[in-house]
Amino acid sequence: MLQRDDSGIAESFDLDSLTVGDRLRLFNFTQRDNHVAYLWVLRAMNVLRAVHQVQVHTDDVAKALSELAAAHDEVPSAKDLNLRAMLDNLAAEDEQVLYKVEDATRCGNLAAYRNRQSVYQFTEIGYRVYCAVEEVIGSRVQDANLSRLVFADILADFKALATANRQGDQDEVYRKLTRLDSVLEDMTQRAARFYLTLNDVVRTTDISPETFLRYKHALLAHMSEFTAELERYAPRLAEAVHEVEDTGVETLLERAAAADERPMMRPAVRLEDWRRRWMGLRQWFLADGTDGSRADQLQGATRSAISGVIALLRQVTESRRGGVSRTTQLRHLAAWAAAAPDELAANALVAAAFDLRSVRHLSGAHDDDDQISPRSTWWEAPGVEISVSLFKHGKRPAQGGPQPVRKSRGAHARLREAQLAERAAERSAAETLLEHGPHDRVLNQAETRAVLKLLTRALEARTVVAGRLRSGTGSSDVLTLRLVPSERGSRVRTETGTLHLPGFALEIKPHGAMRRRLGSEAPRCLPIA
């Protein structure tokens, strides 16, 4: 399923083959013999573009090249380049990285006009091609990271977005939606790049394990801190998305589309674009189908990566325990073969190392090896049955097709029914607890399990500020339990005993769809009995 960060890729799928071919030809300058010189020319044009000089002459490019040469030794001299021919090639019809126009204002006389006073500027798609090339050239493994500090800002932006939509602040709605869209897209790109880089490190470890051993502790600590922060903020961010939806999604999108400042896009198209962006934001923290939310998927990918790094660390450590590894063994063997006195000696060395000359006899194993003495000669030992295919063709008989898998549908159905009954009992207990409240009564076993389960989640997601526990929240699909600091504390009476919570009171309120169905209600707290 295509998500928000794949929208540009999804749009490229709809292009016809001719358009795709035209755009791929924009990279032709990277295949020329003097491709490095072409890259420096484009860098010079980018320097001029940065100072808002859009249309440039060959003299301007030569001056920019001389300024770059003062800081970089690899810059070619403008005197050694035919700048006009290179710029014309970049502006040719088959490339169109640049756009060429004739500037008549530079012509003071007829001779100047005949000298072709052409000026050049980047095309929009050509500038994107240049940026893509620079990004590939300048990419570094050290830049890959997972951003764990951004979750607090995302939570604050969601709350501010709900407040702005509730107050009807159109400009603030547009600013917060734009910020959330860019932040989550950046986090998606960071995560994708981090896992790709991690896979490259794992794949190349067999060649140079020093790189992995140098950064193993930093990698494990970085991923562990990220997954802990994501697990702590995920339920709070899901609740914040529900709060935004409660203020009216359609109104929110209409206000964002009205404040959008893209003049070349029709209002209906802008509204549809913001609707698509909001669905991408929502899918990050709320699960619509069976695949889970994007945050859950990222959490699973991070845990799998941690397991992979630990397994690779064990493999590298065990391979180096003996002082040598497969890489060093192959290098020593190659050095011995290269230092052999002649070709026959080298062939004999390699054949001995890889056992290339061992004779493979037609043989088999006896059904009961214990009946045969290891001292028996080949002539005295009993014969072994050999299949006809092995005797005539040298191929062992096939094992046959796989046996059909036995499907215990009855057992699966019973397990499924038991699971559904257990979930229905948990939901019924939560609804009973939400309907009757915990006041002045003894909770039964099902209600006690529901309270303890949510209390465990609240303690895992608790917030500690200045060494003191401020709050904690645990949620299910029916209700939300929140730990509220209280000097009196609280206690809950159950059938098996009394649960004491010194310093905290329990606050219970509907959650998500249940809250929208029941309407706004005052939170129910567990008092001191």
The DSSP-derived string for 185-229 is HHHHHHHHHHHHHHHHHHHTTTT-HHHHHHHHHHHHHHHHHHHHH
User: What confidence tens digit (pLDDT) does each residue in 396-444 have?
Assistant: 676 666 667 677 788 888 888 988 888 888 888 888 887 777 667 788 8
Ramachandran quadrant class, 387 (left: phi over 0; alpha: psi -120 to 50; beta: rest): beta
- Token reading at 507: 């606050």
The residue whose two tokens read 């009205």 is 258
Question: How far apart are alpha carbons 447 and 317 in whole angstroms?
Answer: 50
Shortest CA distance to 122 belongs to which of 53, 36, 188? Answer: 53
pLDDT at 272 over 80: yes
Kindly state the average pLDDT of the residues 301-327.
68
- Enclosing H/E stretch for 124: helix 124-138
pLDDT of 470: 66
- Rounded CA gap, 286 and 240, in Å? 10
Indicate the pTM of the whole model.
0.46
Res. 6 pLDDT band, cuts 50 70 90: very low
pLDDT at site 3: 42
Burial of 175 (0-12, 13-18, 19+ CB in 10 A): middle
Tokens at 525, concatenated = 């707290």
Q: Report the pLDDT value the prediction gives residue 361, as an integer from 0 to 100.
A: 55
pLDDT in tens, 181-221: 888 888 888 777 777 777 766 665 444 556 566 667 777 77
- CA 339, CA 337: separation in Å to the nearest integer? 5
Nearest-CA neighbor of 65 among 82, 87, 49, 47? 47
Q: Which residues contact 454 (CB under 8 A, 6 or more apart)?
A: 474, 475, 476, 479, 480, 481
Residue 476 predicted with pLDDT over 60: yes
